[in-house]
Amino acid sequence: MSNAPAAPAPAAGGRAGMKKELSEHFKAYKGVWVFIEVERGVVHPVSYELLGEGRKLADQLGVELAGAILGPKGEATDHAIAETFAYGADLVYLMEDPLLADYRNEPFSKGLTDLVNTYKPEILLLGATTLGRDLAGSVATTLLTGLTADCTELAVDADKSLAATRPTFGGSLLCTIYTLNFRPQMATVRPRVMSMPKRQEKPIGRVVTHPLNMAEDDIVTKILEFVADRQTGKVNLAYADIVVAGGLGLGAVENMQLVKNLAKALGAEYGCSRPIVQKGWMPAERQIGQTGKTIRPKLYIAAGISGAIQHRVGVEGADLIVAVNTDKNAPIFDFAHVGVVTDAIRFLPALTEAFTRRLSPHNRDRLAG
């Protein structure tokens, strides 16, 4: 058999898998689902963002939008159901069981897999959180279907397939990925990548319940303790109204202070680009971009950041992007709204001073001296 012809080299446009030949079995898969992430009683806002996106996909496909909710019976789950309808779902698939009170991979992956196999959605969206990624990888592998991580754009194409766009090659380019011949088409989206849809008071609609059929003894992993993060001093970049960030153009670790000073004057959060974290100048939790935090502030000020695609996709949701960079050809000026071509190291202190004066005029004399 060693003389068998070599497999043809993959050529763009010529791949066997490029053609859509959906089997009869998969044609029964209908509808768009969003996994509603409820952890310790709280719905993660990314679930609402996904309902907004899922609504658009469902309308284009002419199908229903459903929320899949797994949790214990009680107030928190009831609240999640009501909110799922308020954010646009037509129906809810509900799995209620005390074993679903805290996230564990085993019951959640069995539960969601069972729901999918029973009710057969064509699209399944999850938030790219630690929970969503843990769960999505297990479910997609069990279902042997495609899963596209960290999408920045979702669309339905002419033949009604899901076109999922995400950064690739370390965030230097974008690519559009399809799961043509398997169902459901699964995708995760990071928090804040999609905008929050409008909430509309709506009566609770159709709720389809399904049992988990598991006992505690079936679950090997036990939760010994949950240590909640301290709320004080916690970085909340993703939901900040104003963000100031620094990049390699700032030249030295001590210049990170310039970013912090401006942030402080504006009551803003501060962050940085990926190379800054790689150099150890700021902690990973401050990283903005594809592999860090996605932000949607009203105002984003990027100082000394060139604006690689992986950074761009993390900040494009900002209402106003201001870029300060010495290189007038830096890619950041391709997507910033306002630019200043100058050295951020010298400009940031001036900007901090000018903002402080403007916002508290009685400080003017003291600061000018």
Of residues 241 through 280, those in contact with other proteins by CB under 8 A are: 241-242, 266-267, 275, 278
Determine the Cα–Cα distance for residues 366 and 188; give it in Å rounded to an integer: 51
Asked whether position 338 contacts other proteins by CB under 8 A, the answer is yes
User: Which of 213, 334, 364, 366 touches other proteins (CB under 8 A)?
Assistant: 334
Determine the Cα–Cα distance for residues 126 and 124; give it in Å rounded to an integer: 7
Site for other proteins in 286-315 (CB under 8 A): 290-291, 298-299, 309, 312
CB 151 within 8 A of CB 187: yes
User: Which of 23, 60, 213, 360 touches other proteins (CB under 8 A)?
Assistant: 360
CB 68 within 8 A of CB 34: yes
Asked whether position 339 contacts other proteins by CB under 8 A, the answer is yes
Q: What is the distance, to the nearest Å, from the Cα of residue 109 to the centroid of all Cα atoms in its chain? A: 20
Q: Parallel, antiparallel, or unpaired for β 32-36 and 42-43?
A: unpaired
Determine the Cα–Cα distance for residues 88 and 347; give it in Å rounded to an integer: 46
Asked whether position 351 contacts other proteins by CB under 8 A, the answer is yes
DSSP string across 9-70: PP-TT--GGGS----HHHHT---EEEEE-EETTEE-HHHHHHHHHHHHHHHHHT--EEEEEE
Residue 55 or residue 290: which is nearer to other proteins going by CB?
Answer: 290
Determine the Cα–Cα distance for residues 148 and 190; give it in Å rounded to an integer: 12
Asked whether position 333 contacts other proteins by CB under 8 A, the answer is yes
User: Which of 178, 205, 260, 326 touches other proteins (CB under 8 A)?
Assistant: 178
> Which residues touch 343 (CB under 8 Å, ≥6 apart)?
249, 326
Asked whether position 240 contacts other proteins by CB under 8 A, the answer is no
The least distance separating other proteins from the CB of residue 92, rounded to whole angstroms, comes to 21
Binding flags for other proteins, 22-51, as an x/- string (CB under 8 A): ---------------x-xx-x-x-------
The least distance separating other proteins from the CB of residue 59, rounded to whole angstroms, comes to 23
Residue 257 or residue 278: which is nearer to other proteins going by CB?
Answer: 278
Q: Is the sign of the CA dihedral 56, 67, 49, 180 positive or negative?
A: negative
Residue 58 or residue 318: which is nearer to other proteins going by CB?
Answer: 318
Asked whether position 217 contacts other proteins by CB under 8 A, the answer is no
Asked whether position 227 contacts other proteins by CB under 8 A, the answer is yes
Asked whether position 98 contacts other proteins by CB under 8 A, the answer is no
The least distance separating other proteins from the CB of residue 53, rounded to whole angstroms, comes to 19
3-state class (DSSP) for residue 249: helix
Residue 60 or residue 360: which is nearer to other proteins going by CB?
Answer: 360
First-to-final CA distance of the chain: 86
Residue 65 or residue 271: which is nearer to other proteins going by CB?
Answer: 271
The least distance separating other proteins from the CB of residue 4, rounded to whole angstroms, comes to 10
User: Which of 284, 327, 364, 366 touches other proteins (CB under 8 A)?
Assistant: 284
Asked whether position 149 contacts other proteins by CB under 8 A, the answer is yes
User: Which of 64, 90, 114, 138 touches other proteins (CB under 8 A)?
Assistant: 138
Closest residue by Cα to residue 27 from 68, 57, 63:
63
Determine the Cα–Cα distance for residues 9 and 152; give it in Å rounded to an integer: 30
Using the rule CB under 8 A, give the single segment among 53-61, 62-70, 206-214, 352-360 that binds other proteins.
352-360
Asked whether position 329 contacts other proteins by CB under 8 A, the answer is no
Residue 245 or residue 322: which is nearer to other proteins going by CB?
Answer: 322
Residue 98 or residue 170: which is nearer to other proteins going by CB?
Answer: 170
Phi, psi torsion values for 215, nearest 5 degrees: -115, 160
Dihedral-angle region of residue 223 (phi above 0 means left; psi in -120 to 50 means alpha; beta otherwise):
beta
CB 46 within 8 A of CB 127: yes
User: Which of 173, 204, 235, 253 touches other proteins (CB under 8 A)?
Assistant: 173
Asked whether position 99 contacts other proteins by CB under 8 A, the answer is no
Asked whether position 223 contacts other proteins by CB under 8 A, the answer is yes
